[in-house]
Amino acid sequence: MANLLIVGPPGAGKGTQAARIAEALGVPAVSTGDIFRQNIKDQTELGQRVTAILDAGEYVPDELTNELVDDRLAQDDAAEGYLLDGYPRTAGQVEYLDGVNLRRGEQVDAVIRLVADTEEVVRRLASRASEQGRSDDTEEVMRHRLDVYERETAPLIAIFEERGLVVEIDGIGAVEQVTERILAGLAERGITA
């Protein structure tokens, strides 16, 4: 059982690594971005509400995101742990997640921090935008999202560092190499498959 977070700037490879690590550990990878994109694709009420927010490169309000995450972690497949990708992104979301975990009688076991050079991240995002046709990945929006990440999310690392939870990983390199680095970093903390 492991409750994990994966953090890093947009384009650092969080989604790819989250899926690989979650599968290796037997826990669900929960991506708030994927949940939002699916709702947009399905043109649900939620999807319509968040389209304008995401297209502007902003974050969805905490209240809405918290509700989605709480509901998702209450599902059966998350009973033995989870790997959250894209959440928490604000101090308010950290507090909310602490409350969810308290109700579960658990806590976050580790925070995987992917570190990546800004220009490499912009290159990756541009490539992803053209491959997937993602409207939220124009260069202007990408750079804005990186600024928002630095301003709002990066300071959360200090909270997790104070708790001794951060496992810092070089996010640049072949997908398999990065996965191996993450699994080795988690194993050092006693978190194994």
Can you tell me the distance from the alpha carbon of 28 to that of 14, in angstroms, rounded to the nearest whole number? Answer: 14
Which of 14, 37, 72, 113 is labelled catalytic?
A: 14
14 is annotated as an active-site residue: yes
Is residue 85 within 8 Å of residue 15, measured between CB atoms?
yes
Q: Answer yes or no: 145 catalytic.
A: yes
Measured in whole angstroms, how far is the alpha carbon of residue 100 from the centre of its chain?
17
Set 37, 113, 124, 145: catalytic member:
145
**Would residue 189 show up in a list of annotated catalytic residues for this protein?**
no
- Tell me, yes or no, if 128 is annotated catalytic: yes
Q: Is 41 a catalytic residue?
A: no
Of 49, 104, 134, 143, which one is the catalytic site residue?
Answer: 134
- Residue 84 pairs in a beta bridge with 5, 30
Q: Of these residues, 89, 113, 124, 181, which one is catalytic?
A: 89
Kindly name the residue from 49, 104, 128, 143 that is annotated as catalytic. Answer: 128
C-alpha dihedral (189, 93, 90, 136), degrees to nearest 10: 100
Active site residues: 14, 89, 128, 134, 145
